[in-house]
Amino acid sequence: MNEKSKTLREIVVFLGLTFALSALAYIPIIREGTISGAQSPLGGLLMLAPGLAAVITYLVFERSLRPVGWQGGEIVYLLLGLAMPIIYCLLEYGVIWSTGWGKYNGQFPRDFPAYLLVLLFTGTLSALLEEVGWRGFLVPQMIKLTSFTMTAIITGLIWAVWHYPLIIYSNVRLGNTPLLYSLVCFTIFVVGLSFAAAWLRLRSGSVWASTLLHGSHNVFMLHVFNVLTTDSGGTWLLLGEYGAMTAVVGLWLAVLFWRPFAASLQRIRPGLKKTNMKDQGPKPGAILKARIAAGRSGCRFTPAVFCIPAEQMKEEGAKP
């Protein structure tokens, strides 16, 4: 079996397991029509499904969990993942508050700093359950088969569709926004966020960078900025995960992480060694094709560093 077929088989198994395990949570959620109250623990079970599916798939096919990308990565990517949702929430909600399309109520929880730290800790851990699947498994596997752009789009669409039963059958939508409208806005945002998450995962080589992005988004948009906002009539058509302004944020993220950064990842594949090409004198913008080595995490890329095949390095006498 060639490498492409093996990768496709692993992806199919992972997706099958993810949706099968998710059904264990979705069936009672759909039956009750809510994810709050007695049904709230099902949210944790739902988030666990992609991560557990990835663990099972890796253990069956690779006999290892190292490709998830457990290493910490450089601090700059971790901080970027943490800070990005704060920035886009401040911009998005600030515009709505300043125009009067939504009201800032100033209702911070008591002991807000401690409250926020607890939320960030629990939010990051819960996001990790998902991220082990989406960015720990699916992104490194997809990048073996296609470009960065298509990897971000496909994984983003899968990520969005996985949420659809929750949006359609439970009470997560704010202000009773129209269902089709909510699905469209949510999908655009999630695909855009997928560009940022995939870029962080591949650039840093660590699942923790995208986990901090995911967890920080859940904390600041859902538990801070939404709580600080009072509906002034149609506010939730603009704000929240199902609003038009959030969809615009998603488009902005997609463009931001597609240009100019995507060019640095278009032909990068996991498992390639890196070397400084300055000494070998390649032409500017040269794209070096490489074979894929299975079961390894993506390499980091900087303007002076290119990924080349290990065989080529050996032939040219370059040091890893």
C-alpha closest to that of 220 among 70, 128, 83, 312:
83
Tell whether 143 and 291 lie within a shared domain. no
Kindly state whether residue 176 falls inside one of the protein's structural domains. yes
Residue 34 lies in a domain: no
Does the pTM surpass 0.85? The reply is no
**Whole-number pLDDT of residue 264:** 54
Same domain, 170 and 280: no
Q: How far apart are CA 239 and CA 174, in angstroms?
A: 9
Range of the domain at 291: 273-316
Q: What pLDDT, on a 0 to 100 scale, did the predictor assign at position 31?
A: 87
| Residues 285 and 154 both lie in one domain | no
For residues 161 and 82, membership in a common domain is answered with yes
Q: What is the pLDDT of residue 299?
A: 42
- Residue 4 lies inside a defined structural domain of this protein: no
Q: Is residue 37 part of a domain?
A: no
Residues of the chain below pLDDT 50: 38, 266-320
In a 10 Å sphere around its CB, with 0-12 CB exposed, 13-18 middle and 19+ buried, how is residue 151 labelled?
A: buried
Q: Is residue 81 a part of any domain in this protein?
A: yes
**131 DSSP β-pair partners:** none
101 and 247 both lie in a single domain: yes
Q: How many domains does one find in the chain?
A: 2
The verdict on residue 228 lying in a domain is yes
Does 3 reside within a domain? no
Residues 142-177 pLDDT 10s: 999 999 999 999 999 999 999 999 999 988 888 778
Contact present, 183 and 203 (Cβ < 8 Å)? no
Residue 45 lies in a domain: no
